[in-house]
A and B are shown apart, each in its own frame.
Chain A
Amino acid sequence: MKVRRWTRTSKLFTGGTGMVALLLASVPLAFSPDIVQKTTTLLILVLLAAMWNALAGYGGLLSVGQQAFIGLGAYGTVFFAGFGMPPYIAMVVALVVTGSLSIPISLFALRLRAAQFAIGMWVIAEVASISVRLDQDLGAGTGISLSQLYQYDPNYRQAYTFWLALAFTAVFLAALFFLLRSPLGASLQAIRDDEDAARSLGVRVAARKRLLFVLAGFGCAAAGVLIVANTLFIEPGSVFSVQWSAYMIFMVLVGGLGTFEGPILGAILLFAIQTTFTQGGPWYLVGLGATAALFALLLPRGLWGTIEERLGLRLLPVGYQVVDKK
């Protein structure tokens, strides 16, 4: 018997992923702004799914309030750009500042368990949303646009935003990837499998969960920054909407909770569904909700988790495999 991390497939695929990132970087050079904007949306979905999975899949923290960070990141960008900062600098500042809010929030939120944490986060998102609505300078309930971005030629603007989205997504996914592969990652996966058992083996569960919570806070704030950069206009009703949580839950549950590759697959699926049913509408959401519920009940490891189990396939290895050596 021996323990392995890399297989030939996973080596090829991980290398391939690096190549895909490089190829993606050339998208704005080769395609129309419309396609660039759509691809930016896909990257935002991938980022959101990966961050929600970091929380729920590895930390066992089910949040229906991550839209708090999405909204704060988006409004933070408008806020700092309003001070005369160049808009792309304002985005980075907004990410750092609003992402950091996850640290004080974690002190309180991580004491809550299961439903209390889920709905507690939702209430925090509601409080953030109401606070924005009460602020006339941020457009109150009617919304506000990131007018500072209009100074750029639309083609360049779309390209810059795309590269920023690619950079954020790559950085956060890589951070999660290397975090999960580090010795710390082994303890995270132990928490995922059985929190009590992990604790009894000396895993500092609370500290590990805080790490994931803060990572997800920053990641969702980054997604918020990208959303305002991509759409140029935000309103509290949509950017703080619980619909974001619905999307994240759908992507992660269908793709595979607690797997690294699954949420990416889920994001691609959601993106494909959204592009096919452009009208959106209630039937599409009925399907989304029902699918998420069915996956939670019948296929809790999602598509990727099931594929992994059946085929023993690892594409982006974050764990180890035990193989029988004949």
Chain B
Amino acid sequence: MSVANAILQGIFLGAFYAVLACGLSLMFGVMRIINLAHGDVAVLGAYVVLVIVQSTGLSPLVAFVIALPAMIAFGYVLQLTVLQRALKAGILTPLLATFGLSIVIQNLLLLRFSPDVHSLGASAGALTTESWNVFGSITISALGLVVLAVALVVFAALHLFLSRTRPGWRMRATAEDPDAAELIGIDSRHVYARATAIAVAIAGLGGLFLAIRSVFDPVSGPTQLIFAFEAVVIGGMGSLWGTLLGGLALGVAQTLGAQLNPEYAALSGHLLFLAVLILRFGGVNLARFGARA
């Protein structure tokens, strides 16, 4: 039964990773770049919410809605100023530029907020305390359910946006072939900026969940980036729904590892990630394996 509970908790945890990874996956899908500052952007979002909560006493969820326009604007500007230029300069430049950006964000946060850890768990009220026991050993927490539901809504909304709306079609066309998209009058700069704005907004949501679930500090970003990237790779790079599944798989791997020894949590997630990479690029392709049989 404790294994069943661990799997359920893993799904709740994995839903959080999926939200963190969603924007990373979108940016990779549209622009073929990985933003190494993605985790720091999420943590930045958590700090923005923290500042609003501290100065107004509002609930973190309301504070996030207030912070949202600022996050979207930040994503837009980030794309137009830094990423657009990096994009044109080859495959390594976006990684180098966003790695530099990551260090800048972390240390600006350190300067402004000190290295102290913060949490928004206490200000989220019943959301973090409410939980129900089922069949004795299985615990369902209100927070876990909310994160899972929000994750499903975010992925479904993004899917509908990409498949049913005009801006979504433009984004997919640009992802497919930016030059051809330009020929039919799509401004790729604008499309890319929109994708980054969405990615930053969802990263901010991930930061909000991070802050409510546990604690964060100015240098929490890199760990979040690694987990988010692992979710993207486990699910298959370039696949949006794959990222959701990848996040869930990563969460379950971590909680199952923690069953053995709490210190194995991150380690078992890393090992799953490396195993997936070896299987996919080590000459063994599970998908093709099935097709050949």
Chains A and B bind each other: yes
Q: Chain A: residues with CB nearer than 8 A to chain B?
A: 56, 60, 62, 64, 108, 111-112, 114-116, 118-120, 122-124, 126-127, 130-131, 133-134, 242, 245-246, 249, 253, 282-283, 285-286, 288-294, 296-297, 300
Bound Cα distance from A15 to B125, whole angstroms = 71
Q: In this assembly, does B16 line the interface, its C-beta being within 8 Å of a C-beta of chain A?
A: no
A291 to chain B, nearest CB (A): 8
For residue A111, which residue of chain B has the nearest CB? B281
What does DSSP make chain B's interface, helix, strand, loop or mixed?
helix
Assess whether A123 is in contact with B99, with CB atoms less than 8 Å apart.
Answer: no
Taking the nearest CB of chain A, how far is it from the CB of B20, in angstroms? Answer: 14
Question: Is A293 touching B101 in the complex (CB atoms < 8 A)?
Answer: yes
User: Which of chain A's residues have a CB closer than 8 A to the CB of B99?
Assistant: 64, 245-246, 249, 289, 292-293
Judging by beta carbons under 8 Å apart, are A286 and B107 in contact? yes
Q: Which of B225-283 contact A (CB under 8 A)?
A: 225-226, 229-230, 233, 237, 263, 266-267, 270-271, 273-274, 277-278, 281-282
Asked whether, in the complex, the Cβ of A289 is within 8 Å of the Cβ of B274, the reply is no
Q: Quick one: closest B residue to A292, CB to CB?
A: B100
- Please tell me if the beta carbons of A108 and B96 are within 8 angstroms of each other in the complex: no
Chain A contacts of B229 at CB under 8 A? 115, 119
Cα-based distance from A64 to B237 in the complex (angstroms): 19
Question: Cβ of B107 and Cβ of A127 under 8 Å apart?
Answer: no
Contact with A112, one of B36, B222, B277 (Cβ below 8 angstroms)? B277
Give the top 9 A-B pairs by smallest Cβ distance, nearest first: A293-B100, A289-B103, A115-B34, A296-B96, A111-B281, A282-B107, A292-B100, A289-B104, A285-B107
- Give Cα A213 to B233, complex, Å: 23
Roughly how many angstroms separate A112 CA and B34 CA in the complex, as a whole number?
14
Closest to B225 in A: A119
Q: How far is the CA of A137 from the CA of B102 in the complex (A)?
A: 34
Q: Is the CB of A293 within 8 A of B82?
A: yes
Tell me if A297 and B266 are in contact (CB < 8 A): no
A123 to B89: give the CA distance in the assembly, Å.
26
| Bound: A111/B86 CA distance, A | 24
* Cross-interface CB contact of B93 among A242, A286, A297, cutoff 8 Å: A297
7 further interface pairs, Cβ-Cβ under 8 Å (given A108-B274, A119-B229, A288-B103): A60-B92, A62-B92, A64-B36, A108-B282, A127-B270, A130-B266, A246-B103
Contact assessment for A293 and B104 in the assembled complex, using a CB-CB cutoff below 8 Å: yes
